[in-house]
Structure 1
Amino acid sequence: MQFGHFDDEAREYVIETPATPLPWINYLGNEDFFSLISNTGGGYSFYKDAKLRRITRYRYNGVPGDNGARNYYLSLMSGSGDDATPVATWSPTFLPVKTPLDSYECRHGIGYTTFHTDYQGIESTLTAFVPLHTAAEINHLSVRNNTGEAVTVDVTGCVEWCLWNAVDDASNFQRNLSTGEVEVEQTGTNTIVYHKTEFKERRNHYAFFSVNEPTVGFDTSRDEFLGQFNGWDSPQAIAEGRMRDSVAHGWYPIAAERVRLTLQPGEERMLVFMLGYIEVPDDQKWEDPNDPAKVGIINKQPAHELFARFNTSEKVLKALDELSASWDELLGRFQVSTGDGKLDRMVNIWNQYQCMVTFNLSRSASYYESGMGRGMGFRDSNQDLLGFVHMIPGRARSRILDIAATQLPDGSAWHQYQPLTKKGNADIGGGFNDDPLWLVAGVFAYLNETGDDSILREPTQFDNQEGSEQPLLEHLRRSVHFTMTHRGPHGLPLIGRADWNDCLNLNCFSSTPGESFQTVENNDTGIAESVFIAGMFVLYGEQYAQILERFGEACGMAAADVQAEAAAVRAAIGEVREATLTAGWDGAWFRRAYDANGNPVGTNEDSEGKIYIEPQGMCVMAGIGTDDGKAAQALRSTKDLLTCRWGTAILAPAYSTYRIELGEISSYPRGYKENGGIFCHNNPWISIANATIGNDDEAFNVYTRTCPAYVEQYSEVHRTEPYVYCQMMAGPEAPTPGEGKNSWLTGTAAWTFVDVSQHLLGVQPTFDGLRIEPHLPAQFTELHIEREWRGVRYVIDATRTGKASLAVDGKPVSGTTVPIAAPGTEEVHVSLNF
């Protein structure tokens, strides 16, 4: 069952009913100001940090399950002036009023969302977006009268302010119910409500809400606007057709503004609502600090200037065109035509779009992540940039340096950091022993994409401590040496608090209700080991060695030191590889780990949790067992024991009882999350692994099982958005197999783009050129690929002939790698037979 359809030409997903199984959302903003918006208008906005700079409120676990950011009310009025009363009220986004609409359509586009609705002959179109380089959300609303007679329609827009710190706002009521402050400015042409809570103290920022037409009333007190017993679906001010012009003093500040439109038959009016964020220097906070009459009046000039940039429909539409053009350029860096429309739309549009969102926000703010507890993940952000680096390499470079600056001096890392402060998050801590190696993966991807080795010489702090600066290359060395020096009894890397699987807590032994598995004391005794990290070390340790050999001398290392360091790392890689093939091999698949008692995890000797997905993918990607059949056997076991119609489960059989020696993984119900769910994040590893050993059909099958476009027809089962990946689906042992959760902010996006672009389509950037080796099933006979790489556009036409050959600009080239184009080249034409 579907609830909408793809419009590939418009790059939109068209939702045809507000009654989707779950709220289906979109993200607005690419830089500092972000908004979440659902197909019924819910969501919230924040600046940079969803915890520390939350602008509007959102209530998780609320009823109904969608609420927040933007509340709009259209009221068909009877009478005139102060005597006018509403005869019908509805929302152009369906919520919050819930009046059944005569027609409804929500189009989630790339960086914008548009609602088309109609009720009793009043047609409305609401487009929400964040303009480029702007700390504001624009809501452009058109109202058209199709009734055949003159009508009066009151339009009310409303937001509810969050008092900046989202955690404090949701908990510290004894303070916050007294601190909320607003200021109202009526200019004659419009009304602006300013949210200036704590501005007179330690803050240098405020927010504002306004509309570009004169208003017939406003409210800034939620209690006055809603009334004592009403909710957002039926505010008293809306029901009575009269605003209170209230000014909030503490309690629950809002910004609600009403505009009255008189529309002749066929007439259409446009309104521009803006939610903006302003920062001002400390010495410019006040309108006139020397005038006693103006003490406490905020400096509104920056807000006036910001609003003036978008205060007409013409300006708004121009900004929307600029946003679209920006996405044309970004998405245009990788475009394909394969003959499979589902594959094309995911590669060309939605997968890349989701990669941008995950790069921006990591795992911080979604309808499943509250934005309060998680910032930017060390592991997460390094993986996210794998699918993003081709779009804006400069931003990827900055992100790498931010991440590296949270690394600790011994090579380990804070597990997360706050995007506003860029400081390690002490509430989460560290000790996740996979974290350091992901930095190597991120830097290696950046170097392959750009060739910019200057990043390796960039002085970068440890733990953001002044005076601790070392070149980024030294950070990579410490990352690799951390794993080299933290190995256990079997010669495998120690797992620490956990590895990629945060819920495999082999050193925690938690028995206290409510205690966080990820922050409880880490009782690491040097015994619990990770086969998964072993695969990582073989893969990323080799990448580090290649970085050394290619760039070490340019970074000031002596040739002998480069050779010695690379040799030492490769010697350790050899030891870990051998340990993986012996202690890490269970007979038909790779084991997952060894627990703190020295017992194997992920073994056929166990009745549950016999096989895990992670080491099968990572070890084969690292080339472990490819020459003796173990890799192929591990992937056969993965297909036979873990794969179902919805994808490949993280483990099987699921655990039925809590095992204190395993931790959180055994606390989930069977078939959900890490206990037997289908974790979409590591399904691409299995696809890549199959491509690595030439199982092209299975590589593509693994890709399609979790790909949104290929499962769209099962939306009533899948429930989450059919245009983006979710973190997990309920596994075959769950009561609701195939049900998705945790959509949008997942490493699935980046890893799937790596899989489909570099392995299935086979266009892989390297230090020496673009390697082109497709791994697609036989039905794909012709491919057209355009790839922007290092400032040159590569136009690739590939034909399946069964006989490999490569020509670059008409000249035959041996092998499968297109050499780096000469300086000044704008376009290269590549012909490939495969």
Structure 2
Amino acid sequence: MGDLYRSHSRTGLGVTPFDDARRAVVIEEPRLPAPWINYLSNGELHAFVSQAGGGCLWWRSPLSFRLTRYRQQNLPLDSPGFYVYLREPRGTIWSPTLRPCPTAVDERRSEHRPGISRFLARRGELAVELTLFIAPDEHALVWDIGLRNAGAADRALDVFAYAEFGMFDWQQDTDWEYYVRHNLNVWFDPGAQAVVYLYHHHYHPKILEAPLAWLAATAPVKSFCGDRDVFIGNYGDEGRPSGIRQNDLGNAEIACGEPCAALHTPVRVPAGGAVRCAYFLGVTPAALPGWPAALERMRGTVAALRQPGRVDELRAGVERWWTEHLAAFHADLPDADCARMINVWNPVQCVHTARYSRSFSSQASGVRGMGFRDTCQDLLAIAYRKPDWAERTLLYLLSQQGPDGRTVHECFPGESRPPSPGLHIDDPLWLPMLAHAVLAETGDAALLERRVPWLGPDGRPTADGATVWEHLNAVVLFMESHLGEHGLPLILDGDWNDSIRKLASPARGESVFAAQQYVYVLRLLERMARGRTGTDAERYAALRAKQERAILACAWDGAWWRRGFDRHGEPIGSAACRYGQIWINAQSWAVIGGVGSRAQHERAMQSAFDLLNTDFGLKKLHPSFRSWPEEADPYSGYSPGCGENGAIFCHANTWAIVAEALLGNAERAWRYYRQLVPHLALQKAGLQRYQAEPYAYVSNIVGPENPKFGWANVTQVTGTAAWMDVAATQYLLGVRPELHGLRIAPCLPAAWTSVTVRRRFRGCRLEIAIRKPRGPAAGVRRMELDGEDLKVEDGALVPATALAGRSRARVAVEME
């Protein structure tokens, strides 16, 4: 067991100390205004758990195989979860987690680490530690429990574990539960000494893949329960269940009703000593075909999990995975707050968004599939750590594209359902960005020759297909066939800003933002085409020049870039507008896309700072649109300062950071970055107002035109994570992969004099030591690779050819 009284460096709030040496956030007061969750996963079995013990477990998809229930937004907050109860001989019941028992304890602490959560509590002379993680090699959530007795006499205890099962298919559980609860069995299997749950509703779309779920223990089982109503009791609750109060779970098995799994295991903790026990909440896939083969497989899995030392081996495997993943990039910085996010918590969150898109969290209900634009962006932050993962996802996303270049807006790789048909102008544009990110990391141009099926009109892959390069060419075909009267891309159903569709119609309404992105994408395609035969590079260059001319002819408003044109041809995002006069994305993407002059870039970004910046970041637009009841036909139902109507949209802030870094405005770029470091934002707003996790980015923060200014929303599953990672590693620190090598273009604060970055690149472990004089830096003056000078006249690039055959190398960078 760990030390319950370990000391930590604090953030000043007393609730969010970080133990950076152990990559841990330690929550010393778990009674928070909102759940702060951690994701646990082995890639197929997934869970999230809060600092209070609430959480949910699912296999593959939270839509089709949600194993346990979790009730977002309902009271009691953050329930149910993965609950352990300790019953003392005189009947006192308490838990290592804040939920579910109301019994007071003398000490309590929660701790989240990558892939592992730990809960510690002490009541009198008895301390308990619960550690949760998902086994990397088995489909099981491990509940590792340690008990320590500081007293002079042995302590007898009854330990209980409890989880509430659901009906797997979330929609059926929500809409038809009162019918489908008659399609299940829960029983105790003597061979495995486990509670077993078999769900067999014939209308489940993937019933033959549905797993067998089970709960087993390492200690001998005294009693069990598979019926939630029996376990809880009439009008009871999870705080003091009837079965635990009676110290006998009743051994209830059911063939219909409300399923659960509860186990009762007595233990004795010796005086001055400690004991360990464990529970395993797991699944065995494909329960029904060939029954009872799944039951035999389950028994084998449980037996293997019970082997001495196995729990420790599995936990070590989780830690190894995360250590390897985080080692792909590490920066030694003079700013501990920034270093913590860049090295640990931001890349941790990027794994979660790559796995879950925008689907499931303590706030998000899990009904969404894989957002097309979302996943393209999420994998940008995976490409340089796990390029194989990014490549697999890219190939899948390409299979969701039609021959005319259009893509789906949302797809469901884990479900038997068609993709969402929405037509958003920006969806295809993210494909070349992800393809370029993968190619820049691997250097494997053969990827472009891989064949991928098209998506047919019926939502299924066609028998024929095309190369990756032909798929990317189709993006250009789509864009060129969807230009409006100003020569700019049509808005269609949205252009990343979904609400902007209100101002457009299918044939009218144009996006300057999408036009700037299109210019950027054409430049990427032009670079990728340079190494290929044919005239694609020249064609893309010509199309890029045409699009730039179209933007310059209509989009400059005098002090910033317009956002677009509405269905009547009137400007959106102009000083002449009543609301929404300036929008952040059109200013940042002009710089990223290289559209316009340096003077225009500087003027537009200064306007963004003057009109959009707050203590918590840049607003999405200004001023906010009024909504009902003030306006009879408002732009949006969002209240002013909320969501896409004037909130601090953190995702959009990342592009402003990139833009300021590209302009060389280091102080402002890092100011924007630090404004959104989550625990710094929490400190400024205060815990009760900000509410969200101090270690994970959010989608948006309510803006100053709203009384709830500073409230952080849509936590964890947000595109902010990937783009903040890209902004920090590739633009602020400036270590950016390109097709022919690694670009070194740091944009560092004046007060910094040195930074060291360790990064894997194409099989070589690089140590990049960056030195600069105190004060503003003008760029890279000199660069060496293992003591030999590299040319920097055309930009500081470490050529991939120079790294060939090296497993380790040192790059020395001097800035001027």
Shorter-normalised TM range: over 0.9
Report if aligned partners of 2:64, 2:415 keep a CA contact under 8 Å in 1.
no
Q: Which residue, 783, 786, 795 being the options, matches 1:809?
A: 786
- Cα offset for 1:664? 8.3
Which among 250, 253, 258 is matched to residue 256 of structure 2?
Answer: 250
Does 2:358 match 1:363?
Answer: yes
**Mean Cα deviation higher: 610-619 or 299-308:** 299-308
C-alpha change, 1:450 and 1:332, in structure 2 (3 Å) is: same
- What SS does structure 2 have at the residue aligned with 1:666? coil
Alignment of 1:450 onto 2:436: no
Alpha-carbon deviation of 1:197?
A: 3.4
Structure 2 SS opposite 1:308 = helix
2:607 is matched with: 637
CA distance in 2, matches of 1:544, 1:366: 36
Does 2:274 match 1:268? yes
Are 2:314 and 1:333 aligned?
no
Aligned residue among 542, 550, 553 for 1:579? 550
Match among 482, 485, 498 for residue 481 of structure 2: 485
Q: CA deviation at 1:614?
A: 1.2
Deviations 1:559-591 (A, max 9, x none): 3xx31x332322222222122223122111111
1:231 alignment partner in structure 2: 237
Alpha-carbon distance change, 454 to 118 in structure 1, aligned in 2, over 3 angstroms: same
Among 561, 571, 574, the residue aligned to 1:603: 574
Give the SS at the match of 1:486. Answer: coil
- Equivalent in the alignment of 1:655: 625
Deviates more, 1:712-721 or 1:651-660: 651-660
1:345-381 CA-to-partner distances (Å, cap 9, x unmatched) read 1111111111111111111111221112x11111000
CA deviation vs aligned residue, 1:650-684 (integer Å, no higher than 9, x gap): 01111113599999862111111111100100101
Check the 8 A contact 2:134/2:141 in 1, yes or no. yes
Q: Contact 1:199–1:206 (CA<8 Å) still a contact in 2?
A: no
Checking the alignment, whether the CA contact within 8 Å between 1:680 and 1:729 is kept in structure 2 is yes
The residue aligned with 1:499 is: 495
CA shift, 1:400, in A, is 0.5
Secondary structure at the aligned position of 2:225 is classed as: strand
The alpha carbon displacement at 1:608 in A equals 1.2
Aligned to 2:110: 106
Unaligned runs of 5+ in 2: 1-12
- Looking at structure 1, the residues matched to 253 and 416 of structure 2 have their Cα atoms a distance apart, in angstroms, of 36
Paired residues for 1:133-152 under 5 Å: 133-152=137-156
Comparing 66-75 with 676-685, which one deviates more in the overlay?
Answer: 66-75
Q: Does 1:434 align with 2:426?
A: yes
Which amino acid in structure 2 is aligned with residue 465 of structure 1? P
Cross-structure match for 1:192: 195
Change (3 A) 1:663 1:208: farther
CA deviation map 1:474-503 (0-9, x unaligned): 111111221122100111100111111122
For residues 773 and 704 of structure 1, the distance between their equivalents in structure 2, rounded to whole angstroms, comes to 20
Give, as a single letter, the amino acid of the residue that structure 2 aligns with 1:615: A
Match in the other structure for 1:406: 400
Measured on the aligned residues, the alpha-carbon RMSD in Å equals: 2.0
* 1:769 to partner: Cα distance: 1.1
User: Cα deviation per residue 1:311-343 (whole Å; 9 max; x = unaligned)?
Assistant: 256211111112112211110110110111111
2:343 aligned with 1:348: yes
Match of 1:688 in 2: 658
Q: How far apart are the structure 1 equivalents of 2:439 and 2:235?
A: 60
2:132 aligns with: 128
Separation of aligned partners in 2, 1:195 and 1:800: 63
> Aligned partners of 1:141 and 1:195: how far apart in 2?
27
CA contact (8 A) 2:697 2:720 kept: yes
Deviations 1:238-257 (A, max 9, x none): 12222111112222110111
1:469 to partner: Cα distance:
1.3
C-alpha change, 1:764 and 1:771, in structure 2 (3 Å) is same
TM-score, length-scaled by structure 1: 0.91
Distance 2:201 2:528 in 1: 49
Alpha-carbon distance, 1:544 to partner: 1.2
Letter in structure 1 aligned against 2:45: F
Change (3 A) 1:659 1:535: farther
- Give runs of aligned pairs for residues 695-706 of structure 1, distance below 5 A: 695-706=665-676
Partner of 1:45: 57
Query: Offset at 1:165?
Result: 0.5
Confirm or deny: 8 A CA contact 2:186 2:195 kept in the other structure: no
Identity %: 30
Conservation of the 8 A alpha-carbon contact between 2:131 and 2:145? yes
Aligned to 2:303: 308
SS in 2 for 1:607: coil
Matched, 1:155 2:159: yes
User: Is the CA contact (8 Å cut-off) linking 1:11 and 1:349 kept in structure 2?
Assistant: yes
Contact 1:270 1:313 in 2 (8 A): no
How far 1:183 sits from its partner (Å)?
2.9
Give the partner amino acid of 1:206: L
Residue 704 of structure 2 aligns to a residue in which SS? coil
Alignment of 1:58-69 (within 5 A): 58-69=70-81
Which whole-Å CA distance do the structure 2 matches of 1:536 and 1:126 have between them?
48
Secondary structure (helix, strand or coil) at the match of 1:804 reads strand
Does the CA contact (< 8 Å) of 2:488 and 2:551 recur in 1? yes
One-letter amino acid of the counterpart of residue 127, structure 2: E
- CA displacement at 1:114 relative to structure 2: 0.6
Aligned partner of 2:379 among 381, 385, 401: 385
1:667 equivalent to 2:663? Answer no
Deviation above 4 Å: which 4+ runs of structure 1?
A: 658-665
Where does residue 517 of structure 1 map in the other structure?
none
1:203 and 2:208 correspond: yes
Q: Show the 5 A alignment for 1:418-817.
A: 418-421=412-415, 424-426=418-420, 429-463=421-455, 464-506=460-502, 523-524=505-506, 526-550=507-531, 552=532, 559=533, 562-563=534-535, 565-627=536-598, 629-657=599-627, 666-714=636-684, 715-716=686-687, 717-801=689-773, 804-815=781-792, 816-817=796-797
Partner of 1:514: none
SS in 2 for 1:456: helix
Q: Is the 1:180–1:252 Cα contact (8 Å) retained in structure 2?
A: no
Work out the CA distance in 2 between the residues paired with 1:664 and 1:28. Answer: 42
2:13 is the alignment partner of 1:8: no
- Structure 1, 779-788 or 261-270: larger mean CA deviation: 261-270
Distance 1:833 1:424 in 2: 54
CA distance in 2, matches of 1:103, 1:313: 30
Shift of 1:387: 0.9
Matched residue type, 1:817: L
Change (3 A) 1:462 1:659: farther
Shift in Å at residue 266 of structure 1?
2.0
Aligned equivalent of 2:9: none
CA distance in 1, matches of 2:81, 2:335: 38
Per the alignment, residue 8 of structure 2 pairs with: none
Which consecutive residues of structure 1, in runs of 5 or more, have no partner in the other structure? 79-85, 288-298, 509-522, 553-558
Could you say what secondary structure the match of 1:735 adopts? coil
Q: Output the CA distance in 1 between the equivalents of 2:288 and 2:166.
A: 22
* TM superposition score normalised by structure 2: 0.93
Shift of 1:807: 0.6
Residue in structure 1 matched with residue 44 of structure 2 by the alignment? 32
CA distance in 1, matches of 2:111, 2:150: 22
Given the superposition, is the C-alpha separation of residues 769 and 200 from structure 1 closer, same or farther in structure 2, using an over 3 Å criterion?
closer
Cα offsets for 1:283-329 (capped at 9, x unmatched): 53325xxxxxxxxxxx3122122223322562111111121122111
Query: Is it true that 1:170 corresponds to 2:174 in the alignment?
Result: yes
For these two proteins, the number of residue pairs brought into alignment is: 785
Equivalent position of 1:516 in the other structure: none
User: Residue type of the partner of 2:771?
Assistant: T
